[in-house]
């Protein structure tokens, strides 16, 4: 089975990747600036894509910018910040209709690419400063985004467990940064962060859709040839083994529902085949509606409001998330570990395994139905140094055996247990 993504270097540290699928009527083009997570710089970097989204040097007015997008048959710009392993990713993208559907024969690929290039590479910066009004607006939005993570106690507990588990590791740095640093953002500091991103980031340009990517590739090639860059190189994230005693932390807060989050290190994942088996195993453990955590800990034992697991192959970490009553917290922890031990012994059926494989097959097939999902999938492949399409992953999943799952779950080691409990209650004995 041939890998469908075509990737090539078009400038120093700049890569252009494309995948064509004629079933779409649109094309998505994204520019992804990838840098190592840095506690001192992460917050200023996080505000950059949202300021850029407000306009460019040639079109600094947000209203005029949106009029131009409307003229491009309703093309849409998006901006975002993500974290993959130990890297922060700053993204700006555009989705526009393909040339085939332009009423007057316009070259929509070129028009959309030029607009995206203008947004990314010709920002509204004067005398080393972003527009003050736009900076203040996006600074406030960033502060609200950071606050929302704290206000949502489910998200907060997940972050706290990761903080404790990965102390002194780059992957624990928050992708949007920190409120105390966001308060200090200025038009100068944001512009400085932007300039550093352009000069040092590894740039991954993605083109997905039904159109011809060559016009877009050549526009980006010429634009980046004009920029002097000293880009970083992306290294595969090294999984750390579990060390020492299991860390156990209980925090009290004014909450009605307790949160139990457990962090596990997944060791010895030295091949994609093993990672794929681990993905299936963790799906069977707690990643689907037919998983053991859902069926047994939540449904049969009624110990949790929710209970699920998630595996991040870029860091080699599995997290188990659950919402519990304080009196059931210890019982829930023991029950979760008992389900893992059961799988490690091989106490599950071939039917259980086949149901999980079917779930992954359905989910993986859906990846090809969305330009955004395709973008995320292939960026993850690039970041992981692998070349596996969703169809290839389906084939790998279909070959996972019961023994593969047993071997995979025996690579899982408990590292951290974090409980967020109500102030006026005690967790169960």
- Of 193, 225, 257, the last residue of a domain is 225
Residues 65 and 195 in one domain: yes
Residues 111 and 219 in one domain: yes
CATH number, residue 316: 3.30.830.10
Residues 214 and 304 in one domain: no
Average confidence score pLDDT of the chain: 95
Residues 252 and 192 in one domain: no
Reading the block at residue 387, the tokens are 């070349």
Cβ atoms of 5 and 206 within 8 Å: the answer is no
Q: Which residues of the chain have pLDDT under 70?
A: 238, 425-429
Convert the pLDDT of each residue in 241-288 to its tens digit.
Answer: 887 899 999 999 988 899 999 999 999 888 999 999 999 999 999 999
Residues 210 and 265 in one domain: no
Does residue 238 sit within a domain? no
Looking at residue 149, its pLDDT comes to 85
Residues 295 and 219 in one domain: no
CA 278 to chain centre: 19
- Domain of 266? 247-422
Distance CA 383, CA 386 (A): 8
Question: Taking the model in full, what pTM does it have?
Answer: 0.94
- The count of structural domains within the chain is 2
CB atoms within 10 A of CB 361: 16
Residues 26 and 172 in one domain: yes
Does residue 237 sit within a domain? no
Distance CA 103, CA 365 (A): 33
Distance CA 181, CA 73 (A): 39
Looking at residue 98, its pLDDT comes to 96
Looking at residue 429, its pLDDT comes to 43
- Of 171, 191, 225, the last residue of a domain is 225
Does residue 118 sit within a domain? yes
| Distances from the Cα of 387 to the Cα of 69, 247, 376, 380, 419, angstroms | 34, 36, 14, 10, 38
Residues 173 and 46 in one domain: yes
Does residue 333 sit within a domain? yes
Distance CA 336, CA 408 (A): 17
| Distances from the Cα of 288 to the Cα of 322, 331, 349, angstroms | 14, 22, 16
Of 313, 409, 301, the residue nearest 356 (C-alpha) = 409
Residues 134 and 274 in one domain: no
Residues 209 and 325 in one domain: no
Residues 145 and 288 in one domain: no
Looking at residue 121, its pLDDT comes to 97
Does residue 235 sit within a domain? no
């Amino acid at each position: 089975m041939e890998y469908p993504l075509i990737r090539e270097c078009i400038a120093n540290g700049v890569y252009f990747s494309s995948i064509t699928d004629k079933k779409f009527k649109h094309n998505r083009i994204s520019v992804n600036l990838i840098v190592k997570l840095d506690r001192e710089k992460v917050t200023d970097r996080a505000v950059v894509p949202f300021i850029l989204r407000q306009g460019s040097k040639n079109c600094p007015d947000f209203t005029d910018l949106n009029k131009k997008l409307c003229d491009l048959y309703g093309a849409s710009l998006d901006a975002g910040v993500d974290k993959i392993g130990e890297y922060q990713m700053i993204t700006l993208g555009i989705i526009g209709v393909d040339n085939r559907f332009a009423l007057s024969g316009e070259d929509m690929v070129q028009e959309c690419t030029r607009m995206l290039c203008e947004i990314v590479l010709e920002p509204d910066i004067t005398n080393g400063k972003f527009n003050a009004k736009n900076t203040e607006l996006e600074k406030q939005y960033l502060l609200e985004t950071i606050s929302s993570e704290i206000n949502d106690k489910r998200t907060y507990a997940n972050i706290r467990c990761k903080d404790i588990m990965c102390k002194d590791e780059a992957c624990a740095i928050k992708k949007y940064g920190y409120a105390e640093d966001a308060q200090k953002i200025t038009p100068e500091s944001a512009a400085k962060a932007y300039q550093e991103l352009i000069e040092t980031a590894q740039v991954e340009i993605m083109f997905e859709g039904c159109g011809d990517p060559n016009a877009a590739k050549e526009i980006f090639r010429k634009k980046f040839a004009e920029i002097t860059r000293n880009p970083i190189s992306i290294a595969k994230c090294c999984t750390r083994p579990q060390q020492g005693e299991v860390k156990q932390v209980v925090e009290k807060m004014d909450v009605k529902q307790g949160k139990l989050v457990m962090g596990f290190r997944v060791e010895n994942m030295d091949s994609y085949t093993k990672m794929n088996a681990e993905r299936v195993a963790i799906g069977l453990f707690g990643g689907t509606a037919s998983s053991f955590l859902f069926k047994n800990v939540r449904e049969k034992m009624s110990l949790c409001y929710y209970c699920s697991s998630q595996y991040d192959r870029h860091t080699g970490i599995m997290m188990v998330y659950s919402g519990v009553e304080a009196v059931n917290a210890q019982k829930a922890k023991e029950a979760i570990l008992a389900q893992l031990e059961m799988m490690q012994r091989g106490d599950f059926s071939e039917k259980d395994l086949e149901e999980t494989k079917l779930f992954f097959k359905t989910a993986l097939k859906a990846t090809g139905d969305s330009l955004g999902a395709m973008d995320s999938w292939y960026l993850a492949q690039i970041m992981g140094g692998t070349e596996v399409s969703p169809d290839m992953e389906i084939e790998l999943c279909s070959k996972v055996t019961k023994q593969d799952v047993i071997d995979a779950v025996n690579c899982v080691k408990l590292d951290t247990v974090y409980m967020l409990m109500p102030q006026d209650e005690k967790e169960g004995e």
